[in-house]
Amino acid sequence: MPRRFPVRLLSTLILAILLPFAGCHSQAPLPAPDVFAKQFSGQNAFDHVAKLVAFGPHPSGSPELEQTRQYIETQLRTFGWTVERQKFTDPTPHGPIEFINLIARPADADPNDSRAIVCTHYDTKWFADQRFVGADDGGSGTGALLELARVLAPQKDFARRFELVFFDGEEAIREFHVDLPPYDGLWGSRHYAHALVASKRLPQFKFGVLWDMIGNRDVVIKFPQDSPTKAVRGIFAASDALGTRSHFGYLRGNMVDDHLDLNSAGLPTVDLIDFNFPPWHTPGDTLDKIDAASLAIVGQTTLYHLVQSAAELR
Ligand SMILES: [Zn+2]
């Protein structure tokens, strides 16, 4: 006759077997949105931009962009992210160029876990006749995205809902031509959007957030008219909560930027940009024109919005 386990002993045994697995994918509570948002350091983001600017001009296809890439990859790995190089070669007005998007996910995340993307571009515009290092245009978004990676990483269950994407080739080789071929500009985001559709992963994504030119002193982000209403409302609400509302408003028109092909593909993506930047595409777009306080305003307000969107990302 088999010995019967006392019920209490049996349940203890079951618990002992199950407990080691209980941590897997359990939803640890996130810090309150304002507490979490304040973990984003504008100074850290600024320090990354200083490193990027020190590589000098880094247009698509240049050895300096490869150095920039290695810096981004090293930082991301230090924070616990894996980085995929999405390579492709497209014909450009300067002949074929190999472009490389960097796609980061938490080290233990599955690509099918991603529910949202936060993205920027890390290339700087090529000029034959001027030294252009793109502290704001190329640098600010990249520095901020690296800082976001650091802040998100410890919140593993939340972080695995995000894909952080660093686009190559946002800048036009000559001039933007984005509606019809022959295309120029938005090379990386066009390829990423098409690849996302081809991979059949698009339906798992809820939204995208794009950062471009967010470091301007006294930053005022102006949402293009084609911005997804839900995202704009969310960011306005976040800015109300953090006291940064005066730094966000609407643009009169639209903007040629990396959100266009993501939106066309069906991934509603909001473009956070302060285009009221006189040194734009001039040798004056240098480190002294950007401000850690501005990077903090945009980084923290966006992060607050992401936390408020957590339920949508399960
Ligand atoms: Zn530019």
182 alpha carbon – ligand 1 mean position (Å): 19
Chain-wide mean pLDDT for the chain? 92
Residue 223: give the domain boundaries: 51-313
CA dihedral sign of residues 28, 32, 34, 39? negative
User: Is 50 exceeded by the pLDDT of residue 244?
Assistant: yes
11 in a domain, yes or no? no
Q: What is the pLDDT of residues 159-175, one digit of tens each?
A: 999 999 999 999 999 99
46 in a domain, yes or no? no
Q: What is the pLDDT of residues 211-234, one digit of tens each?
A: 999 999 999 999 999 999 999 999
For residue 301, give both structure tokens: 């307000």
C-alpha to C-alpha distance for 241 and 265, rounded to whole angstroms = 32
Query: Which residues are found with C-beta within 5 Å of the ion, ligand 1?
Result: 125, 137
285 alpha carbon – ligand 1 mean position (Å): 10
Contact 58, 65 (CB under 8 A): yes
Q: What is the mean pLDDT of residues 4-14?
A: 47
276 alpha carbon – ligand 1 mean position (Å): 13
124 alpha carbon – ligand 1 mean position (Å): 7
34 alpha carbon – ligand 1 mean position (Å): 32
76 in a domain, yes or no? yes
28 in a domain, yes or no? no
15 band by pLDDT with thresholds 50, 70 and 90: very low
Query: In the prediction, which pLDDT does 294 show?
Result: 98
C-alpha to C-alpha distance for 235 and 50, rounded to whole angstroms = 27
225 alpha carbon – ligand 1 mean position (Å): 20
User: Is 60 exceeded by the pLDDT of residue 5?
Assistant: no
27 band by pLDDT with thresholds 50, 70 and 90: low
Query: In the prediction, which pLDDT does 1 show?
Result: 44
Query: In the prediction, which pLDDT does 268 show?
Result: 98
What are the φ/ψ torsions at residue 92 (nearest 5 degrees)? -130, 170
Domain count for the chain, please give it: 1
Q: What is the pLDDT of residues 182-221, one digit of tens each?
A: 999 999 999 999 999 999 999 999 999 999 999 999 999 9
264 alpha carbon – ligand 1 mean position (Å): 21
CATH for 101:
3.40.630.10
308 in a domain, yes or no? yes
69 alpha carbon – ligand 1 mean position (Å): 18
65 alpha carbon – ligand 1 mean position (Å): 15
Q: What is the pLDDT of residues 93-130, one digit of tens each?
A: 999 999 999 999 999 999 999 999 999 999 999 999 99
C-alpha to C-alpha distance for 179 and 184, rounded to whole angstroms = 9
36 in a domain, yes or no? no
75 in a domain, yes or no? yes
127 alpha carbon – ligand 1 mean position (Å): 11
309 alpha carbon – ligand 1 mean position (Å): 30
User: Is 50 exceeded by the pLDDT of residue 71?
Assistant: yes
Q: What is the mean pLDDT of residues 230-253?
A: 97
297 in a domain, yes or no? yes
Query: In the prediction, which pLDDT does 29 show?
Result: 85
